[in-house]
Chain A
């Protein structure tokens, strides 16, 4: 078998733009995409998709462009396939790689391009009621008055016929304080046959909103895409900007960014573990989880000024770096919190009733997880070792020697166990990192290492990628010649994982859905954007 590069070189009509140690960008015609992607997917270990971006570059004379970023684990090599000059249609890749299903439907909605041969071409992001020809991400569309054109129309769902089959509509308004999403169960009695999830109620047009904004404004918006992985989104965005500007950040900055990422993981994982208890009505576990999460968030507030860790990371550095005294205090607090976590977690893990509910519930098969490009704890619970901290050398993770924590069964219990073990790892990493921070030199507060933006490469595609608590977050970024954002695509972990949730349901009973849903604990806001 030829190496990837030899294959691409020998392929007629492929132009290699960049081929470096870690990254490659190649241009090809959109009609060649299916064949090249099929070839790439045959390579072992199988590549994972990072993001799929459509961009309107007609002003630059390049038509619509399609960027598909793949990552080849093992070699830590990322390949961007660029198809330029798309006019109205592109061949679908969803048949070869179902993970791209949603991205292509989204491109159909927001750009008005046609994915030829797509197996499920229903609209995804835009709900029924938007007028024909409303394609907001085209550059010639000026946002502002679209609200007036919206004429509310009922949602359309597939029909299912048969004796005793009925539909259970749930949402978009739920009884708890959660985000909006409509779920439609097709059930016979209690067992579920099929689930349709209608999301994108909170589509805010963020990708349109950031266009033409400065890098700083973009960061503020991207950090607010959602409230659970705020730091990861911001960090991925900063990495993308730094890559474009060719900036190397110093070691203390890397150190503190790693600490922040692990703090975010710890508080999210613990909160998610507690939430799973709420899914089975286990009040004591839920109370313990909420309490630990709150303590961690207060620690965030105290040392970094924000419960969700917003506004700490900036392109090129950090807004503030705590001194050694603060590091010592933080370490002491975290050791206490870690002991506290170890004290209450057996309550859950040794609870027969809880095990009975979670084991064999909501199984995500590994082949489904691979096909749909599932990421994060959801994939690792199905035996797929795809922790971005292990796959890709970034921050201080290579030094920490992160290994993906995997479970084999793919059920709600496995997803819980992955979170529990990762939380322990996070506490261990935080211990190591904070010990280094304690010895480090003192830093000045409020003195961000600023970035010289003059040398940012215009109209060049780049991406930043961070392992968030829910999986790999990818921010894809392109700046214009004035250093303003030309296109920014947010592919959050939740966006990658949502299509997998309905697949885990058939065979389970309706009352188990809350537990299954909570074992994924996906975010609606950063999926809908």
Chain B
């Protein structure tokens, strides 16, 4: 009986974890747009606009190119599913992740990789040139971001002696924020996150300039509910990256029911504030920087990889071993 109760609570908590991410993802998007509008001296769309946009798209008719195959229809579903899979390993508001086992750092990398694989394939589906250009650019950037992302996380794993993301964030509680390998790994992860979120200086999420699109280029053939799913998956990915970054920068540790309702609500507010601060930070970066010339992207991404490698080396030097 006790065991069943345990399983049920864990299941409920897992569903709650997912639900929180699902509900909050469009809100973060709205907040980032509002922050950008602030820098541009505009009023900007209401903060709840992303929800309305999703609802609108869900109701709309979907047009599918006659050249498209089953991959085209499958991609939005797989993208959303894989992104939610990644959410399960991210330590959430209360520092707890539904899946917290050995190696789930790689689960994160693999989920994001799966999303990338299907998105690039579906970019080619419509037989249009924009999709193809978007896919080729996405792979070009993906080739450079993935090593930095994994290496950065692996350094953190070495620091805390675990490859579970939940373990990493709670382990970081006892590490000084000024610990050199931690800072370097963080720099790498922040730079990679910008690319993964498709933001300036790598990509431009607001662009109407077809010729410069990367992420939007791959989505150009999508409409209606499929587009809604893809946009939604992108918003969730953005939120999970920011939550992960927030937990790495300032881990809040594990908070359980024993801290009481007030403690849990405080943790929720604290996590919200951290994510909002990061969102504002990225909105500021996006307003102040220009999009880089595509062929300069390797310089930027090489910096993040170099930072991750330096983190590894400095850790080696400090500890004398890995």
- Asked if B256 is at the interface of the complex by the 8 Å CB criterion, the answer is no
Bound form: Cα–Cα A174–B210 in Å: 8
The 0/1 profile, CB within 8 Å of A marked 1, for residues 191-217 of chain B is 000000000110010111111100000
Contact A280 B211 (CB under 8 A): no
Give the chain B neighbours of A167 by CB distance below 8 A: 129
Contact B292 A356 (CB under 8 A): yes
Output the least CB separation between A350 and chain B (Å). 12
With A167-B129, A351-B290 known to touch, is A514 a contact of B41 (CB < 8 Å)?
Answer: no
Contact A356 B287 (CB under 8 A): no
Contact A175 B208 (CB under 8 A): yes
With A283-B36, A283-B287 known to touch, is A509 a contact of B133 (CB < 8 Å)?
Answer: no
Q: Which residue of B lies closest to A171 (CB)?
A: B210
- Asked if B286 is at the interface of the complex by the 8 Å CB criterion, the answer is yes
Q: Looking at the complex, which one of A189, A281, A284 makes contact with B39 (CB distance below 8 Å)? A: A284
The 0/1 profile, CB within 8 Å of A marked 1, for residues 211-225 of chain B is 110000000000000
With A169-B129, A283-B40, A291-B41 known to touch, is A353 a contact of B292 (CB < 8 Å)?
Answer: yes
Q: Looking at the complex, which one of B39, B129, B201 makes contact with A283 (CB distance below 8 Å)? A: B39
- Asked if A295 is at the interface of the complex by the 8 Å CB criterion, the answer is no
Give the chain A neighbours of B212 by CB distance below 8 A: 281, 511, 514
Q: Which residue of A lies closest to B289 (CB)?
A: A353
Q: Looking at the complex, which one of B40, B290, B294 makes contact with A511 (CB distance below 8 Å)? A: B294
Contact B293 A511 (CB under 8 A): yes
Contact B209 A284 (CB under 8 A): no
Contact A509 B287 (CB under 8 A): no
- Asked if B60 is at the interface of the complex by the 8 Å CB criterion, the answer is no
- Asked if B59 is at the interface of the complex by the 8 Å CB criterion, the answer is no
Contact B40 A287 (CB under 8 A): yes
The 0/1 profile, CB within 8 Å of B marked 1, for residues 279-304 of chain A is 11111101110010000000000000
Name the residue in B40, B208, B290 with the highest tally of chain A Cβ atoms < 10 Å from its Cβ. Answer: B290
- Asked if A168 is at the interface of the complex by the 8 Å CB criterion, the answer is yes
- Asked if B295 is at the interface of the complex by the 8 Å CB criterion, the answer is yes
Output the least CB separation between A175 and chain B (Å). 4
Q: Which residue of B lies closest to A355 (CB)?
A: B290
With A168-B133, A353-B201 known to touch, is A510 a contact of B293 (CB < 8 Å)?
Answer: no
Output the least CB separation between B115 and chain A (Å). 23
Bound form: Cα–Cα A190–B140 in Å: 12
Q: Looking at the complex, which one of B133, B136, B208, B294 makes contact with A176 (CB distance below 8 Å)? A: B208
Contact A283 B286 (CB under 8 A): yes
Q: Which positions 138-192 of chain A face chain B at CB distance < 8 Å?
A: 166-170, 174-176, 189-190
Contact B36 A168 (CB under 8 A): no
Output the least CB separation between B213 and chain A (Å). 8
With A283-B40, A284-B40, A354-B290 known to touch, is A509 a contact of B295 (CB < 8 Å)?
Answer: yes
Output the least CB separation between A515 and chain B (Å). 9
- Asked if B319 is at the interface of the complex by the 8 Å CB criterion, the answer is no
With A280-B290, A283-B287 known to touch, is A190 a contact of B295 (CB < 8 Å)?
Answer: yes
- Asked if B42 is at the interface of the complex by the 8 Å CB criterion, the answer is yes
- Asked if B67 is at the interface of the complex by the 8 Å CB criterion, the answer is no
The 0/1 profile, CB within 8 Å of B marked 1, for residues 331-375 of chain A is 000000000000000000001011011000000000000000000
Give the chain B neighbours of A284 by CB distance below 8 A: 39-40, 287-288
Output the least CB separation between B37 and chain A (Å). 9
Output the least CB separation between B204 and chain A (Å). 4
Bound form: Cα–Cα A351–B293 in Å: 14
Contact A514 B287 (CB under 8 A): no
Name the residue in A280, A286, A509 with the highest tally of chain B Cβ atoms < 10 Å from its Cβ. Answer: A280
Give the chain A neighbours of B52 by CB distance below 8 A: none
Q: Which positions 79-97 of chain B face chain A at CB distance < 8 Å?
A: none
Q: Looking at the complex, which one of B40, B209, B295 makes contact with A279 (CB distance below 8 Å)? A: B209
Output the least CB separation between B128 and chain A (Å). 9
Contact B296 A514 (CB under 8 A): no
- Asked if A480 is at the interface of the complex by the 8 Å CB criterion, the answer is no
Bound form: Cα–Cα A356–B292 in Å: 8
Give the chain A neighbours of B295 by CB distance below 8 A: 190, 509
With A281-B204, A283-B40 known to touch, is A356 a contact of B133 (CB < 8 Å)?
Answer: no
- Asked if A512 is at the interface of the complex by the 8 Å CB criterion, the answer is yes
Bound form: Cα–Cα A284–B288 in Å: 6
Q: Which residue of B lies closest to A354 (CB)?
A: B290
With A190-B295, A509-B293 known to touch, is A287 a contact of B211 (CB < 8 Å)?
Answer: no
Bound form: Cα–Cα A283–B132 in Å: 27
Q: Which positions 202-256 of chain B face chain A at CB distance < 8 Å?
A: 204, 206-212
Contact B42 A190 (CB under 8 A): no
Bound form: Cα–Cα A514–B290 in Å: 14
Output the least CB separation between A487 and chain B (Å). 40
- Asked if A513 is at the interface of the complex by the 8 Å CB criterion, the answer is yes
- Asked if B55 is at the interface of the complex by the 8 Å CB criterion, the answer is no
Q: Looking at the complex, which one of A168, A169, A512, A514 makes contact with B293 (CB distance below 8 Å)? A: A512
Output the least CB separation between A180 and chain B (Å). 14
Contact B201 A511 (CB under 8 A): no
Output the least CB separation between A404 and chain B (Å). 29
Output the least CB separation between B33 and chain A (Å). 11
Bound form: Cα–Cα A403–B188 in Å: 51
Bound form: Cα–Cα A509–B297 in Å: 13
- Asked if B10 is at the interface of the complex by the 8 Å CB criterion, the answer is no
Contact A281 B291 (CB under 8 A): yes
With A281-B291, A353-B201, A356-B296 known to touch, is A511 a contact of B211 (CB < 8 Å)?
Answer: yes
Give the chain A neighbours of B200 by CB distance below 8 A: 281
Contact A287 B210 (CB under 8 A): no
The 8 closest A-B pairs by CB, nearest first: A287-B40, A281-B291, A175-B208, A176-B208, A511-B212, A281-B204, A353-B290, A282-B290
7 residue pairs A–B, Cβ–Cβ below 8 Å = A169-B129, A170-B210, A170-B211, A174-B210, A282-B290, A283-B40, A287-B39
- Name A residues whose Cβ lies closer than 8 Å to a Cβ of B: 166-170, 174-176, 189-190, 277, 279-284, 286-288, 291, 351, 353-354, 356-357, 509-514
Beyond A356-B296, A509-B293, A511-B294, 9 additional pairs, beta carbon < 8 A: A167-B129, A283-B39, A283-B206, A284-B287, A353-B289, A353-B290, A509-B294, A514-B209, A514-B211
